[in-house]
Structure 1
Amino acid sequence: MSELRDLTERLVSIPSHDDETAAGDAIASWLREHTAADVTRDDAGNVIAWRNRDADGDSLALVGHHDVVPPDETQVEDGDYVVYEDESRIYGRGTADMKGAVAAMLLAFRDADPDGPLAFASFAGEELGGVGVQQAIDEGFAPDYAVVGEGSTGYSADGTLDVAVAHKGRRASTVTAAGEAAHASEVESGENAVYRACDAVDVLRDLDAPEADVLGQHLAGSVAVTEIEGGSAWNVIPESCEVTVDERTVPGERADVGAVEAVEGVSWTVEQDLPPMACDDAAFADGVLDAVREVQDGAGEHVAKPHATDAGWLAAAGTTCLVCGPAEQGEAHTADESVSLDVLERCKGVYRRAADAVPGGQS
């Protein structure tokens, strides 16, 4: 436990919200010191290590990220992140999301005795939409299977480590309505962009968001208007209006948000599209859940996450993914972010068991 605690605290103490270089350097240095793995860095800031890369059989990757969201002012002191332990939890920016899981994966990667190819990857830019993982995929990172260490704790019961077999994605888009400005005393001489935007909103309200079922888990998508901005003055017919749309996507079909373009003067632009994830191998999902139940007296369930992760990008590229990690719902990105040392230890055990086994539930 002390080794896991010390490594977690070391990684958490390194600032990595503006620049992930130092955190990536620390991870790469640890791997080179404690393993004989082939360790590489790329210009995105990713750290990728392989053991038995040329061995026969399917490959498995233990996947995390070392960037974090900006810290609360209470989480920084003299340029470093504040880290402290209290009642069997470690507190500090990145403890839950997700340097604690990275530390557990590093130790499992070192201690595993795999027959097939085993990778460890810690990506940069996850909090910016998966910048690092996308570059790694473009440069050939393509494991057959992956366990992604994002949070999956507390879904079936408080404090229980679960296995997420699916998660939603997020598509953020802007609907732009164009009109023609005119003096408000001469309404008929202009084209009101706000009215056109309202017609587009009516289209959005009538859309049916798709739903999906993955290995017994049900996911429901959603479409929501979250911002409207238009007009320049009280006495001017507005010539433009923008509507921000937040869409939670599920594996399979998408809502037809582009239908708004049937409204005259309206266009639709996708700003960000984080893909959902669905595990496509029931035996792999069952095998990792068995490992979870081994480390916590039979507890743990298959669950679905509402949040997008790097697993979505990997799954879209052909990797069979699961999410299993120590962060609890609502814990990440908070001023008092923390992680349970006990759950971290359980995660390390699961990662080690997954790394030792051939993916897909085979022996």
Structure 2
Amino acid sequence: MDVAALTRDLVSIPSHDDETAAGDFIEDWLRAETDADVTRDTVGNVIARYGEADTLALVGHHDVVPPDESQTDGDEYVIETTENRLYGRGAADMKGAVAAAMLAFRDTPEDGLVFASFVGEELGGIGARHAIDEGFAPDFAVVGEGSTGYATAGVTDVVVAHKGRRASTVTAHGTAVHASEPESGENAVYRACDAVDLIRDIDPPSATVLDERVSGSLAVTGIEGGSAWNVVPESCAITVDERTVPGERAPLGTVEDIEGVEWEIDQDLPPMACDDEAFAETVRTVADECQDGDPELVTKPAATDGGWLAAADVTCVVCGPSELGEAHTKDESVSLAALDRCYRIYAEIVDAVGEN
């Protein structure tokens, strides 16, 4: 079975509401195709390993975001294969990389090699966090999220850092009164606007990882308040999207210096930074040998399970077939050439890490 065929099999299995069937397929395939120790934990993660020591892990996830109507036919996912690409929900994010990692894991049965496909990545890293809590801590990890076309179109690069995401809500409280006498109350919308002005003046932090610059961002993405046109509002909430960088966060807590304003973190997906330049260069060298282009060490704008692993002191890079702009789209697809390339990269990384 080649990587395109295995990707097609994986993509055909719906896994946006329930990852069980996709996990079953991966588990059964690994048991049939390898002599590895294959386990399925209580949340549904599939983890396989050769030997006792966890030296290098090939990491992915088999859940996907809900499909567009055009990507389903009843209860089945619609898949289309052209000469160069495979289309379907999860092809890019990230069942193609999972398939490439499964085949590389089968074909390079070295002691210390681990394969892991997690659940719940799209819901905040549920599977990765559970695995880490249960002791999953390889020395090195290659996370198969997208890194193709970041520096040069058609070239699979190596991500050494990515942003995290901190989502939060700022709530302003006031005193409701009739709008004909606004001076007798406290307008929560005005207080919320003061908080917006403060947030707008915050300079998001930046960081440098292995000479690559990662810049954070900060944006107010929603505002809601008020109950009627003739009532001064007693409450107003704003939502804030912060893209975080390794080592520093924007001082959003300063909004609580405004009277009647409180700040609450709703989600905090950690950023990733590779802490071992030699490992990053090893992976880049392997990627260079497996393709005609010149891969570079790059940064990625979106969070991955690599953030949770890096926070647990696992040395990580991200390297995968998906290109920018493919994930979560109604015409999501993956390059067949990139799938083959990533299979070779993953297999060669096993040998390269073993030599070092």
Q: What TM-score range do you get, normalising by the shorter chain?
A: over 0.9
Which of 41-50 and 158-167 deviates more? Answer: 41-50
Structure 1 residue 80 displacement after superposition: 1.3
Which residue, 102, 105, 110 being the options, matches 1:106?
A: 102
- Distance in 2 (alpha carbons) for counterparts of 1:296 and 1:160: 8
Structure 1 residue 298 displacement after superposition: 5.2
Partner of 1:356: 351
SS of corresponding position for 1:213: strand
Aligned residues: 356
Q: Does 1:79 align with 2:75?
A: yes
Alignment of 1:76-155 (within 5 A): 76-114=72-110, 116-155=111-150
User: Where do 5+ consecutive residues of structure 2 fail to align?
Assistant: none
- Are the aligned partners of 1:53 and 1:118 in contact in 2 as well (CA < 8 Å)? no
SS of corresponding position for 2:348: helix
What is the CA RMSD across the aligned residues, in angstroms? Answer: 1.2
CA deviations 1:306-332 (Å, max 9, x no partner) are 000000000001100000000000011
Return the letter of the residue paired with 2:352: A
- Are the aligned partners of 1:168 and 1:308 in contact in 2 as well (CA < 8 Å)? yes
SS of corresponding position for 2:275: coil
Q: Does 1:260 align with 2:259?
A: no
Partner of 1:275: 270
Partner of 2:66: 70
- Are the aligned partners of 2:119 and 2:126 in contact in 1 as well (CA < 8 Å)? yes
- Are the aligned partners of 1:228 and 1:242 in contact in 2 as well (CA < 8 Å)? yes
TM-score (structure 1 length as normaliser): 0.96
- Are the aligned partners of 1:209 and 1:223 in contact in 2 as well (CA < 8 Å)? yes
TM-score (structure 2 length as normaliser): 0.98
- Distance in 2 (alpha carbons) for counterparts of 1:43 and 1:194: 46
Alignment of 1:192-207 (within 5 A): 192-207=187-202
- Distance in 2 (alpha carbons) for counterparts of 1:201 and 1:72: 34
Alignment of 1:1-363 (within 5 A): 3-54=2-53, 59-114=55-110, 116-297=111-292, 299-358=294-353, 363=356
Return the letter of the residue paired with 2:38: V
Which of 79-88 and 228-237 deviates more? Answer: 79-88
SS of corresponding position for 2:44: coil
- Distance in 1 (alpha carbons) for counterparts of 2:293 and 2:91: 26
Return the letter of the residue paired with 1:292: A
- Are the aligned partners of 2:155 and 2:293 in contact in 1 as well (CA < 8 Å)? no
Return the letter of the residue paired with 1:148: V
Structure 1 residue 84 displacement after superposition: 2.0
CA deviations 1:250-269 (Å, max 9, x no partner) are 00111100000000000000
Structure 1 residue 78 displacement after superposition: 3.5
- Distance in 1 (alpha carbons) for counterparts of 2:37 and 2:345: 23
- Are the aligned partners of 2:50 and 2:109 in contact in 1 as well (CA < 8 Å)? no
- Are the aligned partners of 2:92 and 2:326 in contact in 1 as well (CA < 8 Å)? yes
CA deviations 1:205-243 (Å, max 9, x no partner) are 111211001112111111111111111111101000001
Return the letter of the residue paired with 2:294: A
Runs of 4+ in 1 over 4 A off after TM superposition: none
